[in-house]
Structure 1
Amino acid sequence: MNDQSKLASKMRPVINESGIEIKPLYTAEDVVASGGVDDSLPGNAPFTRGIHSLMYRHRPFTMRQYTGFANAADTNERFKYLIANGQTGLNVAFDLATQCGYDSDAPEAAGEVGRVGMAIDTLRDFEIAFDGIDLDAITVSLTINGAAASLIAMFLAMAEKRGYDLSKLRGTAQNDILKEFIGRGTWIYPVEPSVKLVADTIEYCAKVTPKYSPVSVCGYHIRESGASPAEEMGYAFAIAKAYTDMALARGLDIDEFAGRLSFNFNIFGNLFEQVAKFRAGRRRWSKIILDEYGARRPESGWMRMIAGGGGFGLTIEQPENNIMRGAYYALAAALGGAQTMALCCYDEAYTIPTPRAQRLSLRTMQMLTEEVGLADTVDPLGGSYYVETLTNQTEQKITEAMQWVDAQGGIVRAVSDGVIQARVSEYAYRRQRALETGELRKVGVNCYEDSDEEKPQVDLHGYDEAGARQQIENVRKVRAARSNEAVARALKALRADAEAGRNVMPALVDAVKVYATVGEMNGALVDVYGRFQEPTQLWRRAG
């Protein structure tokens, strides 16, 4: 044992969140022992070094901040502000009532409209929200899950009404209901019909709007809820496989839809762990689609991703520190090869971002490409002994997370039984305890605190009561002006298709076009599918 090894043996081991012990020094021997270097070039399977041959040298990552306010008019104003400041995509935040399938004037929506996110009741709201925005130049991501089928129908109907060719229309819907059961809770229907609706959207979009991405599998919220980085990716892949299996059962060819699946991953935490996670994830997903499912088109095996947020990493204590955290998160996303970036704002730990905060996050991303050199070359950390070893080890951890899901009977069974929710919650508890004890160090929170620091002055986003009243008035005006007979016929057809087990997307599009509301369409589906009841025991099998 040399002097360095003797010294290292006396140190406390460093173990990253994915459970990998980090050595003080890496050499070529570590790379070989972990599986060797993947010497494929960027743009070639298994895409460890990136899904495009020139990556940002050809086109920088899309910058897509998460935005939505009480009503469509206010949201449209912020959209245009961000686009004027150089944003290249839109990421739409919806209010809780919309996410849960309620109209703005429903009793269940009281106090929620005007608080967080944009309220959507009918096609008219989409027409206002995207007025004056070129959907060919600015792609739109809809962050919606439980009510996703209805809102995808609205977006497509709005685009068609404005004259866009649906066969060429690009955009994304989150539409990942399984992660809602694990990590957020904006479900509506039981698990199986919820997954069936995701398959409906995949099938419909493959045939009608093949360049649109109807699902963005969202490890992001699983990570925010407590999972480790490797589990975040492993559980996301298990979810994506479930959706893939249902689409294949519909008779779709793997190459008809796999290339339009996308992913949403988190970026807070150790920079090198995040970079390795993305590199390993691209390789693992490529093997799943190209080797296991036998896709013929290399593009079907692309892990196209938005690296988003990092919200859990932000703090209300010393909030200006979040500006630096955000810069490091953006750096990790760029070094990891993200196609799109949605960076949390420094004030997002305690409020809806202000225009100034959103502009700062946007400028942070722009600096990476314009000043820091992240667009100059592909995979700049490739070949690092540390990063290559960590990539190999992380891929193994991702595989182990997927194997654990399989041992529970698959992701749908694990979600239905509440097993995976319990496992993620247990990890979140351990992480919180580590923060409280100081084992997990957080600058400004449990280390490097200012003893004389005053409570931070924060600019809170207030409840927009006037905006809520206006939204309720708007939906009532639409109901008064539309043909209620046509709406009744459309809702009857929607129920009939749901009862017969048919794809409900054509009926939803028809209902949207006659200005049926979100609450009416989702109410019709609840009549058939029922509502999800959360498992009351999060329980024994979670270990």
Structure 2
Amino acid sequence: MTSIIDPKTVEAIRSEVADWEQKEVAAFLMKQAERKEAFFTLGDFPVKRVYTAADAAQTPIEDIGLPGRYPFTRGPYPTMYRSRNWTMRQIAGFGTGEDTNKRFKYLIAQGQTGISTDFDMPTLMGYDSDHPMSEGEVGREGVAIDTLADMEALFDGIDLEKISVSMTINPSAWILLAMYIVLAEKRGYDLDKLSGTVQADILKEYMAQKEYVFPVAPSVRIVRDCITYCAKNMKRYNPINISGYHISEAGSSPLHEAAFTLANLVVYVEEVLKTGMKVDEFAPRLAFFFVCQADFFEEVAKFRALRRCYAKIMKERFGAENPESMRLRFHCQTAAASLTKPQYMVNVVRTSMQALAAVLGGCQSLHTNGYDEAFAIPTEDAMRMALRTQQVIAEETNVTQVTDPLGGSYYVESLTTEYETKIFEILAEVEERGGTLKLIEEGWFQKNIADFAYETALRKQSGEKPVIGVNRLVDGMPDPKIETHPYDHSTAERQCARTQRVRRERDPVKFDLLLQQLVETARDPSQNIMPITIELVRSGATMGDLIETLKDVWGTYRETPVF
């Protein structure tokens, strides 16, 4: 490996820094002390007073490389935003399919270039809207989807061959994917022209977000089936969005967000390889989803390190030969957990800084949060401002003219390499302790996340971690009255009426036969669950029909508490 600079120059630089600290720094500190004894990133990496070429020298030139070339530290593509900007993908979802469809069309009219869909809690957990467990939650936190008819309403008038669609859903993800496929087939679309993703990453649910239904093994089998089905039938579609975002939002450090996400990646790749599929047949369509937190340079370094680690894992561990299999592509969302109710317009500034860091870190698509999301689902005004934030970065700042403009920064290169080292140390520890699935059952990941979340809460409470308007610069002035997104109380009635109509109109004999085939498929882990799910959706099956049937086959998951 080749160092950026030779050892003699490194030693000379270090000698000069030592002299500088003894003279200029020491003299200045006598007049004005630094703000605190030690400085750290948000993720607890110690930060030096200054970085030089000697710090960057720890990174071999080959590990920095060039954009679009292994190990992709500087970006997955050689020209990045000089060819096309990242996809501006504002998330939307509330009420019925018709309600969210209007928001989609509004955002597209405002210049959005991709669709991202939030689903309500009953849909996420696999309950139909007229199930007793759904009462009070239908369409409240996202759009309600029970049947294919809802999916048709959701994407009415939107050309799915021309715009990519992301669906944020996990335990019931394969059912939504099946609905999307049937809708596309009914419209006569070529499945190979569809682009977008269904999140599907179930392992991070057990670690962090806690939206799961089935035990771990059958849940991972479903993810495997989504990946293998799409690899064979939808060449442009990403069958999974392996997600660090929710790990971070549950309170983890940025380092654990990165490392735990890659630990989940390893499980999914190993499961697909067991089917006999070669890594280069499916890995090019694996995609990721990360958060961008407040520590600007740390986030940029995190994204760069993730690309490098992923490339090395896919090449060295799994034997990938196609560069597309080693090219990490990710969607990014600014940090919802950083938004505040006090002085809520400051959220615009927070989101702007986080969005800029995501772009300088090389994201492929981006959601910027609305200033009012600490209160409720964002209003149209808040979403327009969030979208305009991306558009200003893209059109006015000129940061898109240079690929990886922070590459070569002594600090960023040093922190990137520190992140890579720590990520691989955590992955090695996971292996030594018995692997990801064993540690999920033992609560190891959950405890690490909870511990950092607790420490962060204490730091906010003490003021050690500044939050403007909450523990710093609290001016006592009342904030302007904010208009929040209203909940339409007719939603449940409208939604349930359509679900019940679909049930009445379907062929009961055909439906029962297909449901029995689902049971047989579920009992045979060598079979792929997607084809029978597609046929059931086509026949009028509801989300609840499939989930409740499979609960009888697989059971449900209960987490072991960890203290």
Q: What is the TM-score of this pair, normalised by structure 2?
A: 0.93
Does residue 517 in structure 1 map to residue 532 in structure 2? no
Distance 2:480 2:261 in 1: 36
- The correspondence for 1:461, drawn from 457, 479, 485, is 485
Give the partner amino acid of 1:235. F
Task: Say if 2:348 is the partner of 1:323.
Answer: yes
Asked if 1:234 corresponds to 2:259, the answer is yes
Q: Quick one: which of 480, 490, 501 aligns to 2:504?
A: 480
1:3 lines up with 2:26 in the alignment: no
How big is each residue's C-alpha offset from its partner over 1:348-392, in whole Å with a ceiling of 9 and x where there is no partner? 111100000000010110111110112211111111111111111
How far does residue 457 in structure 1 lie from its aligned partner after superposition? 2.5
Residue 76 (structure 2) aligned to one of 34, 39, 51 = 51
- Mapping for residues 179-190 of structure 1, pairs under 5 Å: 179-190=204-215
Q: Is the 8 A contact 1:268 1:311 kept in 2?
A: no
Question: Does residue 473 of structure 2 align to residue 445 of structure 1?
Answer: no
1:144-185 deviations in whole A, cap 9, x for unaligned? 001011111111111111111112321201100011111111
Alignment counterpart, residue 522 of structure 2, candidates 487, 498, 507: 498
Conservation of the 8 A alpha-carbon contact between 1:93 and 1:117: yes
Counterpart pick for 1:243 among 261, 264, 268: 268
Structure 1: which 5+ residue stretches go unaligned?
none
Q: 2:52 aligns with which of 9, 23, 27?
A: 27
- Which residue of structure 2 lines up, in the alignment, with residue 191 of structure 1? 216
The offset of 1:186, in angstroms, is 1.3
Q: How does 1:336-375 map to 2 (within 5 A)?
A: 336-375=361-400
Q: CA deviation digits over 1:470-500, x for unaligned, max 9?
A: 0011101111112122221111110110012
> 1:392-419: per-residue Cα shift (whole Å, max 9, x none)?
1111122223223223311111112222
- Which residue number in structure 2 is paired with residue 164 of structure 1? 189
8 Å CA contact 2:64, 2:71 repeated in 1: no
Assess if the C-alpha contact under 8 Å between 1:35 and 1:392 holds in 2: no
Note if contact 2:334-2:355 (Cα within 8 Å) is conserved in structure 1.
no
- Name the SS of the counterpart of 1:492 in structure 2: helix
Give the drift of 1:34: 5.4
**What per-residue deviation string (whole Å, max 9, x for no partner) do you get for residues 252-294 of structure 1?**
1100111111000000121000000001110110011022211
Which of 95, 104, 121 does residue 70 from structure 1 map onto? 95
Q: CA deviation at 1:23?
A: 1.0
Q: 1-side partners of 2:308 and 2:139: how far apart?
A: 43
Give the Cα separation in 2 of the matches to 1:62 and 1:408. 39
1:173-184 equivalences in 2 (<5 Å): 173-184=198-209
Q: Decide whether the 8 Å contact of 2:292 with 2:357 is kept in 1.
A: yes
CA distance in 2, matches of 1:404, 1:154: 40
Aligned to 2:14: none
Considering only aligned residues, what root-mean-square deviation do their CA atoms show, in Å?
A: 1.5
Whether the aligned pair in 2 keeps the contact of 1:217 and 1:262 (CA below 8 Å) is yes
Gap regions ≥5 residues in structure 2: 1-17
In structure 1, what is the equivalent of residue 431 of structure 2? 406
Please, which of 429, 439, 453 is the counterpart of residue 454 of structure 2? Answer: 429
Aligned: 1:311 with 2:367:
no
Contact 1:351 1:459 in 2 (8 A): no
Distance in 2, Cα, partners of 1:210 & 1:78: 29
Match of 1:264 among 289, 294, 299: 289
Distance 2:417 2:304 in 1: 9
> Deviation digits for residues 74-95 of structure 1, max 9, x if unmatched?
0111100000110000110000
Larger radius of gyration: 2
| Matched letter for residue 31 of structure 1 | A
Q: Secondary structure at the match of 2:193?
A: coil
CA distance in 2, matches of 1:18, 1:293: 29
Q: Take 1:295 and 1:29, find their aligned partners in 2: how far apart are those partners?
A: 33
* Cα contact 2:64–2:74 (8 A) shared by 1: no
1:296 aligned to 299, 309, 321, which one?
A: 321
Q: Count the aligned residue pairs.
A: 537
Secondary structure of 1:264's match?
A: strand
Q: 2:408 aligned with 1:383, yes or no?
A: yes
Deviates most, 526-535 or 477-486: 477-486
Residue 35 of structure 1: how far off its partner (Å): 5.3
Q: 1:124 aligns with which of 149, 153, 170?
A: 149
CA offset at residue 327 of structure 1? 0.6
Contact 2:334 2:368 in 1 (8 A): yes
Q: Identity of aligned pairs, percent?
A: 42
Distance 1:444 1:256, change over 3 A: same
Q: 1:275 to 1:115 in 2, by over 3 A?
A: same
Partners in 1 of 2:69 and 2:455 — Cα distance?
39
1:5 deviation in Å?
4.7
